[in-house]
Structure 1
Amino acid sequence: MKKNITLLFVFLSLLFANAHLYAQKEQQVDFSKALKIGDTFIPPPAVKLMRGTDKSFDWKALEDKVVLIDFFDTFCGTCIQIMPKLQQLEKKHADKFKVITVTWQDKATIEKLFATNEYLKENKVNLPVVYDDTYFKSIFPHKAAPHEILIYKGKVHAITNSNGITEENILNLHAGLPISVRVKDDYATGDVLTQMTGQQKTIKAGTIFSGYQEGVEAESWRFKRDSITGLYKSSCYNTGIMQTLRVLIYKARLKESYMPRIERVHWKVKDSTKYYNFKNEEGWWKENAICYERYDITERPDSLQALVIMQDFLSFYGVKIYQQKRKIKCLVLKPCPVVPYTADPDAKKITYVGTNVLTGFLDLSEKFPPAVDLVNDRKIEIEIGDYNDLEGMNVQLAAYGVKGVIEDAEINVLVVEELHY
C-alpha cells in the first residue's frame, strides 16, 4: 500500500519523534499510595500474567536481580520499539536483570498486538506481560508511557523514562554503585518559584534561572498566565541550552523552515558539550540542563516573547543564537537525465509528493548530510523503496530525473555564540 507523505507529516513526525504517548484519560490519583525513590516495594498479592516463560513471580527470589517494571500501551510507538532492546538486555544478564512489562489493557488487546505487529514478531519478543493492571499503576502513578521503574533488593531505585534503562545503569545498580537517571514525574508541578519559600505571593515580575531540578519533569517552552501570581509566565524545565535556544528562534520566526539538525549548527563557544548532549549520556542532564521561569505583567505574542527571552540568555548566560549563511557538506538534489528503473512489484514503496517533501524526509532520516532541493518540483510524485546508500537511492530517483549529490553548498545554519568567545 502506498503512503502519500506530505510536508506536514514530515514536520509532525519530527515534532512527535521523541514524544510520550498518553494512554488514558486523566483520572483522580491517590498519591497516598504512590512510592518514591528509596521506598520499599511491596509486591502485589496476585497478577494477571501472560506470555513469557513465567507462570508466576517469586518476588523474594527476584530481590537478587534488578527488576524493571516497564509500563506500556499498545498504541505507544516508543513502548513497542524498546521491547527488543529490553529483551536482549535481560537475555545477556539473565542472572542480574528481570523485565516485567505492565499494561492496563485487557488480554484480548495484548494478544492482538503480538499476533499482528510485524516488528515484535520479527524480533521474537516474548517478555512477560501483566495485563488488566491496577496495582502497579496505583503505586507508580503516571500519565504517559513508557514509564520505567527499577527495583533492587526490595527498594525503588529509579522512576524514569526509557533512556535511563541502559546496560551500564543495570550493572552499576546490581553492583551497589550509584546510577544517574532523570526522574520522570508526570504529576510534578514543574515550578522553580514554588521552591522559593515565601516569595510566591510577593513576586511582582522577574526572571529565574536555575540548573537541573530533581523531581521536575522535563518540559520545553510553555507560555501561559500563572494562576498563583496572576502574571504571564514563560517557562522551560530540565532542558539543554541548545534545545532551548533552538525552539526560541523558531518561535521568534527569525529563520526559514528547515530541519534543526545538529550539523546545521555552527559553534562559537568555548565548550559546546555544555550546550548539547552529543553522546546521548543520561548523566549529562543533571550536569548541564537548565530551568527557566519569567514572570511578566504584560502579555506578548509568542514571537515577541521569544525575543525577550533570548535577550535574557544573552544578559545572564552571555550566549546568543542567530541565522547565517555558510558553506557546509550537503546532500543536494539536482535534475538529471531520466533513466528508466523497474522496481520489484512486491517491494514496499513510499510516495513523496514533491521533491521538497523528499528533502524533508531525507533530513529527518539523517542517513545523509543536510538536504538541499534544487529541483523544486512540488507536483512530481516520487515512489521509491528501501535503499542502503546514495547509489541505491539515486538508481530509483533517476526514473524521475532527479539525483542526489554530496557536495558543499551554501545554506542557512544556526550560529551559537558566546559574548566573550
Structure 2
Amino acid sequence: MKNKFILLLITVLLSPKIWAQKQIDRSKELTMGQLLPDIPLQDVLNYKGDQIDIKSFDGKVVILDFFDTYCTNCIAAMPKLQKLQDNMGDKLQVILVTWQDQKTIEKFYQTNSFLKENKVKLPTIYSANLLRSYFPHTSVPHTAWIYQNKVQAITYSDFVNSGNIESLYKNGNVQLPLKSDFNDGLKELQNISHTDSVIGSVKISGYKDGVETTGIQIKSDSISKLQKTTFYNLDILGAYTAAWSKINKPTFLMKNERIIWRVKDSSMYQYPKDSGGKNVWLLKNGICYERYDQIKRSELEQAEVILNDLNMFLGLKVYWSTKEMPSLVIRKLEGEKNKNIQLHNEDGGLGGTGVLAFMIDYQGNFPPVVDEVDARMNIKIKDYSSLEKLNEQLKGYRLVLSKEIRPLEVLVFEEIN
C-alpha cells in the first residue's frame, strides 16, 4: 500500500499535464492552415474592455495559451509570456484561455502572489467552451498560434519564444512540432506482415511529431496476433526507469544523487533543468520504441527484453549498484525505539514516513532520505525550509531526521566504447 501511495503522489506532483474529460468532441476542430471561423466577442479579464475580438489582431501573431488554475506548469510559464508581450507587443498578442468561470479567475489573479510578483496581467478569456471546441485537448498547457487569422501551429508552450514568434511574423509561417493529445501522428509500425511467418520486429527511433508522450504499454495486437510493446517520446533516463519499475517498483524518488553517469554527455539522456523547456529538449533527444513479438511474455519478462534492446541499440550498459553518500535518515527519537508509532486519524497530513521521505526528496534541497521507521501515521508538515525546521515539527511525532553516510541504491549509466 505504501508503494502505491508514493507512486500516486509522484504522478500527481510531477506530472506536466492536467487531464480533462476523456471524451472530447472534435467535430469543430481547427487544424493547421485553416482560417478562423466567425468567432463572437469573448468575455475577458485584464483587457481594456469586458470583451475581446480575436480576429482584430490579424496583423499580429496571436498566442492562445489554454490553461487552468490547477496546472502548475501553466502558471510557471506565465511570467515568460508576460515578458514576451511586454517586449514584442507590436508584433504579438498573448491571450490566456480557460474553461473556468469569471469568479474563479478573478480570485486567481487576486490571490496568486507569484503572478503579482511577476506583474502578470495578460488578457484572459474565461468560460471558453467555444474556443476549446475549436482547439480540443485533454491536457494543458496547450498553445494555438494564429497569424493573419489562420491557424499556424498547435504546440506545447515550451516553443513560445521570441525566435519562433519573429519567424512567424516575418515569414508568414513557422515549422513547429505538433502537440496532439489524440496521437494523430501515431502510425502503426510499417511493413509488418500479418502472416504466420513473421517472427517480429524492433524499432527504436527519435521523436515522433504529433504523438503524446507515453509510458511503456504492452498489449496484444488484434490483427497480427503479436505482442506489441511501445513507448513514445520518452527521455532515455525515463525509458530505463520505466522499464526497471516494472521489474521492481521504486520506493524512492530518483534524485540526481542516485544516478551515476559514466558517459561523455549526460544531457543527451536526462533533461538539464532550466534549459529551455523539456518539450524543446525532447524534440532532439526523445526516443520511441516499438516491438512486435510472437512470444507472449509477462510484463516483468518483457521489461527485461526492453532493457536489453535499449542497451544494445543505444550502446549502453545500465545497472543498479550502491554508493555511500550523505543521507537524511528518518529515525524514532531516542527512548522511543520500542514504542509503536500509531496511525493518527485526523485529516490533512501525509500518510506515513514513506510519504514524508518522498516529500522531503521532492523539495530538491536535501540529501536523499532513508526511511528506517516505515510507519503509517498522519504527519503534518508546513515548513520544509531547513532541516532544523523539519525536526522541530517532527518532535511531536517522536521522529527525527539525522545526517548520516549510507550506502544507497544508484542507477549507473555506462557508454560502451
TM-score calculated relative to the size of structure 2: 0.80
Contact 2:3 2:251 in 1 (8 A): no
After superposition, residues 79-228 of structure 1 pair within 5 angstroms as 79=74, 82-83=77-78, 86-87=81-82, 89-91=84-86, 93-104=88-99, 109-115=101-107, 120=112, 123-124=115-116, 126-166=121-161, 169-170=164-165, 182-189=177-184, 191=186, 193-194=188-189, 196=190, 198-199=191-192, 201=194, 204-228=199-223
Unpaired runs of 5+ residues, structure 2, are 336-346
Instruction: Tell me, in whole angstroms, the C-alpha distance in 1 between the residues paired with 2:367 and 2:185.
Output: 37
Q: What SS class does the counterpart of residue 381 from structure 2 fall into?
A: strand
Q: Cα deviations across residues 181-236 of structure 1 (Å, max 9, x unaligned)?
A: 64311222564545x3x546565511111111222222221111223433211001
Could you say if the C-alpha distance between residues 146 and 287 of structure 1 is closer, same or farther in structure 2, counting changes exceeding 3 Å? closer
Contact 2:247 2:303 in 1 (8 A): yes
Q: Does 1:297 align with 2:294?
A: yes
Q: Does 1:244 align with 2:239?
A: yes
Instruction: Tell me, in whole angstroms, the C-alpha distance in 1 between the residues paired with 2:110 and 2:385.
Output: 21
Q: Cα deviations across residues 66-97 of structure 1 (Å, max 9, x unaligned)?
A: 32112234655654565565445534554444
Contact 1:241 1:276 in 2 (8 A): yes
Contact 2:206 2:285 in 1 (8 A): yes
Contact 1:65 1:98 in 2 (8 A): yes
Aligned to 2:41: 47
Aligned to 2:323: 326
Contact 2:330 2:370 in 1 (8 A): yes
Higher deviation after alignment, 128-137 or 385-394: 128-137
Q: Cα deviations across residues 234-288 of structure 1 (Å, max 9, x unaligned)?
A: 00111111110111011122x6522122321111223222111114444322222
Contact 2:145 2:154 in 1 (8 A): yes
Counting matched residue pairs gives: 395
Aligned to 2:340: none
Contact 2:184 2:210 in 1 (8 A): no
Contact 2:25 2:133 in 1 (8 A): no
After superposition, residues 368-387 of structure 1 pair within 5 angstroms as 368-374=366-372, 376=373, 378-379=375-376, 381-387=378-384
Aligned to 1:272: 266
Contact 1:80 1:120 in 2 (8 A): no
Letter in 2 for 1:158: A
Q: Does 1:20 align with 2:17?
A: yes
Aligned to 2:341: none
Instruction: Tell me, in whole angstroms, the C-alpha distance in 2 between the residues paired with 1:18 and 1:378.
Output: 27
Instruction: Tell me, in whole angstroms, the C-alpha distance in 1 between the residues paired with 2:95 and 2:193.
Output: 42
1:355 positional shift: 2.9
Q: Cα deviations across residues 133-162 of structure 1 (Å, max 9, x unaligned)?
A: 454334433233331112345454431223
TM-score calculated relative to the size of structure 1: 0.79
Aligned to 1:397: 394
Contact 2:34 2:151 in 1 (8 A): yes
Q: What SS class does the counterpart of residue 326 from structure 2 fall into?
A: strand
Unpaired runs of 5+ residues, structure 1, are 1-5, 339-348
Percent identity (aligned): 34
Instruction: Tell me, in whole angstroms, the C-alpha distance in 2 between the residues paired with 1:169 and 1:407.
Output: 49
Structure with more contact order per residue of length (Cα contacts < 8 Å, sep ≥ 6): 1
Letter in 2 for 1:216: V
8, 11, 35: which one aligns with 2:7: 11
Higher deviation after alignment, 116-125 or 313-322: 116-125
